[in-house]
Amino acid sequence: MVRVAAYILALGLLLSSGTGVGQAPLSSTAPVGSTLTLAQAESIAMANQPRLLAAQLRSRASTQRIREARSALLPTVAFNATGVRVADTGASTAAGAVTTSAISDRFAYGANLVQMVTDFGRTSALINTQGSLADARKDEETLTGAQIRLNVRRAYFQVMGAEAVLRAAREAQANRQLISQQVGALAQSQLRSTLDVNFANVLESEAELAVVRAESIVHQQRAHLASAMGETQPITAALVEEALPAALPPDAKSFMAQALVQRADLSAAISLGHAAQSFAAAEKRLSYPTLNVIGSAGQIPYHDHTLQDNYAAIGFNLNIPVFNGGLFTARRTEAELEAQARAKDVEEAKLEVNEQVSDKWYQADEVYRSLSVSARLVAQSREALRLAQARYEAGLGSIVELNEAQLSETSAEITAAGANYDYLTRRAELDYAAGLLN
């Protein structure tokens, strides 16, 4: 956020500022012709940020859980091979882990197949659960991307605000140097006192110190921008100015309506609620029967003479839960309570979204309305400085009076620049709150 208060450290000793702040260009460390737009910065961040890449991988991983749950609907086939060499022969044998009444010499191989016929919808409910959880992961990925865009916009505008302060500090330094030279020349002609000369020299040193501090803040903000973009080196390219957005609508209702549809975190909460409901349905069906079809077939190329050359069998298994100490009842109750809690979480998320959008709209509206006031303040302070300088040159005013006028004009210039970047930051925050940065 770009506010005048954020520049206190940079202004530091600028409490005795020089004459008006012009629009002198900032000497940047960026190569000639090297520029960076906000869109480019966001694109680089979306490609580089490890947090977004991790969210994308987790989203892809969650889709595999859908396949895991769906696998229960498909047949399971296993191949077995068994070889036995014993002294006695027996009457029954087969490949695989089959209990026999006796053991015979043999080598057998075959396959077993298990196919679930029905579990009365439990597996389908688990598939729906994983599908909703995957949707929530996708929404979290979208939310991460929106947060990255917001961080880039904040850092981008903070850099531009810090550079505006640096321009003001450098202009103030140049003006103070000029005033110091003028006062020194007047003192040599005995038209000004030595006190004025000393005071002018102090103001010149203060302006130089303020420039050093402002330059440090610019470098810090550029390092923050690099971090937001996922870059390891500070950004040195010159940043391109962004146009101010259009005026806000008369109220926040339109943004609230968009937020309820587009906010990724709200969508994730809704998906988690659906997942909890599907899981509660699955847990309820734990007490239902499960019917499986089982098949087994194979050959016995080496065997006792009492055995056949091959074997095949098919059957079914019906599992009916009767009593397990209340385990299934407890699991069903837990899942249903969790589903109810998730529904309340969605209601809470909607309240928070409405509150956030409302707060961000009022903050953006406050800054927008201050833009015209800031512009008027700049014009008034420039006129006051012109009059103060004329009084000083005519010998009617003191250097303290001139210094106060310089301070007011410099502060007004910084306030105006800060208001522009503050409004851009507030609009970015409002767009994020409304889900427009997805």
3-state helix/strand/coil string of 19-42: CCCCCCCCCCCCCCCCEECHHHHH
- pLDDT confidence of residue 199: 76
pLDDT of residue 96: 53
pLDDT in tens, the chain (438 residues): 444 333 333 334 333 333 333 333 333 333 334 899 999 999 999 999 999 999 999 999 999 999 999 999 999 999 998 877 765 544 444 555 444 544 667 788 899 999 999 999 999 999 999 999 999 999 999 999 999 999 999 999 999 988 988 887 888 788 778 878 877 887 787 767 777 788 778 778 888 888 898 899 999 999 999 999 999 888 999 999 988 888 899 899 999 999 999 999 999 999 999 999 999 999 999 999 999 999 999 998 887 777 788 889 999 999 999 999 999 999 999 999 999 999 999 999 999 999 999 999 999 999 998 888 888 888 898 899 888 888 877 878 777 787 788 778 777 877 777 788 889 999 999 999 999 998
438 with 262: CB under 8 angstroms?
yes
In sequence order, what are the residues at sequence separation of 6 or more whose Cβ sits closer than 8 angstroms to the Cβ of residue 354? 256, 259
Q: Residue 288 has what DSSP assignment?
A: S
Domain 4-433, CATH = 1.20.1600.10
Whether residue 414 contacts residue 164, with contact meaning beta carbons closer than 8 Å, is answered with yes
Instruction: Tell me the pTM.
Output: 0.78
